[in-house]
Amino acid sequence: MSGVVVVGASLAGLRAADALARSGYSGGVTLIGDEPHQPYNRPPLSKEALLEEQEFDAIRLRSSAKPGAVSLLTGVGAVSADLGRGLLFLSDGRELAFEGLVAATGLRPRALGIPKPSGGVVVLRTYEDLLRLRAELAGVRDVAIIGAGFIGCELAASLTQLGYRVSVIAPEDVPMLRPLGEELGGALMRHHLQAGVGFGLSRLPVAVEGGERPERVVCNDGSSFDAQLVIEAVGSSANVEWLEGNGLDLSDGVLCDERLRFGGDGRFLAAGDVARFPNLAFDSIPRRVEHWEMAVDTGRYAGKALGRLLTSGEESPAFTPMPAFWSDQFELRIQSFGMPGLVTDPGQIRVLEGDLDGEVVVGYHREDTLVGVVLVGFPQNHMKYRTAVSESLAAGVAPA
């Protein structure tokens, strides 16, 4: 057996490969990605890359490893893996032997199974998706975005700023309900409304009507929204099919332990959006976390832990990161620390500072423990509240 293969050449995979190469591991690191590009950054796709028509070079990710320390194969996918024999089978027919593997294959967008035209309905996950979206916007006046999560709301903000008439359609009563809760979601909705975004909430789209291109989105309550372009932002599925046949739990990403390991013997780790792992700082329930910073943190941890295991046989401590994400919508910077989405009881969600219709800090509590904060604005207070969540968790939480 030889070397480590890192499957998925995006943020988590690149950071894992870099960390392995820097760990002192000398067996060789191969980073394999099925996209035709060098690794690149996805957050700008719904924000500055769309607003400012940035080209690929502006979003390309740079490796921190020495030149030549990581072999990058692009445009080639892993079709299957035999973990027992240490073999990876590639889409170009090659077989790679490995002694360690990092799975960092991320997600792909879901699409709704409703009637729709063949053209003018798009998703946004890749650079190619951005190019398609830009091309599809030509001649369009009304855009319908199906889905009111972060990506849907960021797209609504960017496209409104670009002069399109945007409607966001979703079953929830307020946007970003699951991660932020009703009150803050409602406050952000008011901000979007004032900026010109239209909302069709508390309803389900049942069809995109039109000829070859959309003309309107029709909903289950009889309402309809004009749209010459429809963007589906309705969540994602994990890219795990290539790991089938190895007796793994792949029901929602790759199920890992608290050291991001799967498949038994410590030499296989997952990183980024595809990894479902327990964060013992909060509890013992495995979850996937779809945040940029988590892709960086899991990638670095996986590369370092695997390098250490393969060079010295030593285990690494459990991975207990502080989740963090940001979102930019109009002039607002939303910043989150911890796991606000764990708290569903509105009585446990309280304004800690500021005002819901301006700059605000909202705290999410589980009994007496502050498990998450979300700041809208207040950039000078980020570290204070990040530390407050860490200290509260350290004082209050025993893994359940």
Ligand X SMILES: Cc1cc2nc3c(=O)[nH]c(=O)nc-3n(C[C@H](O)[C@H](O)[C@H](O)COP(=O)(O)OP(=O)(O)OC[C@H]3O[C@@H](n4cnc5c(N)ncnc54)[C@H](O)[C@@H]3O)c2cc1C
Q: Which residues contact ligand X by CB under 6 A?
A: 7-13, 32-35, 42-43, 45-46, 77-78, 104-107, 124-125, 151, 239, 242, 272-273, 290-293, 295, 325-327
Closer to ligand X by Cβ: residue 61 or 342 = 61
Closer to ligand X by Cβ: residue 112 or 397 = 112
CB of 169 to ligand X, least distance (A): 18
Q: How far is residue 248's CA from residue 138's CA, in Å, rounded to a whole number? A: 45
CA-closest candidate to residue 106, choices 204, 32, 200: 32
In the three-class reduction of DSSP (H, G, I as helix; E, B as strand; rest coil), residue 340 is classed as helix
Q: Which residue has the tokens 């003309």?
A: 215
CB of 21 to ligand X, least distance (A): 17
Closer to ligand X by Cβ: residue 23 or 329 = 329
CB of 292 to ligand X, least distance (A): 4
Report yes or no: 145 and 231 within 8 Å, Cβ to Cβ. yes
CB of 399 to ligand X, least distance (A): 25
Report yes or no: 15 and 301 within 8 Å, Cβ to Cβ. no
Report yes or no: 304 and 312 within 8 Å, Cβ to Cβ. no
In the three-class reduction of DSSP (H, G, I as helix; E, B as strand; rest coil), residue 345 is classed as coil
Closer to ligand X by Cβ: residue 336 or 381 = 336
CB of 51 to ligand X, least distance (A): 13
Contacts of 283 (CB under 8 A, 6+ apart): 397, 399, 400
290, two tokens: 């779809």
Closer to ligand X by Cβ: residue 6 or 219 = 6
Q: How far is residue 193's CA from residue 324's CA, in Å, rounded to a whole number? A: 27
Closer to ligand X by Cβ: residue 326 or 378 = 326
Q: How far is residue 120's CA from residue 142's CA, in Å, rounded to a whole number? A: 12
Task: Please calculate the CA angle 209-213-216 and round it to the nearest 5 degrees.
Answer: 35
CB of 127 to ligand X, least distance (A): 10
Closer to ligand X by Cβ: residue 120 or 253 = 253
CB of 191 to ligand X, least distance (A): 17
Closer to ligand X by Cβ: residue 45 or 122 = 45
Q: How far is residue 273's CA from residue 238's CA, in Å, rounded to a whole number? A: 8
CB of 273 to ligand X, least distance (A): 4
Closer to ligand X by Cβ: residue 107 or 227 = 107
Q: How far is residue 40's CA from residue 111's CA, in Å, rounded to a whole number? A: 23
Q: How far is residue 257's CA from residue 249's CA, in Å, rounded to a whole number? A: 12
CB of 115 to ligand X, least distance (A): 26
Helix H or strand E segment including 22: helix 11-22
Q: How far is residue 53's CA from residue 59's CA, in Å, rounded to a whole number? A: 11
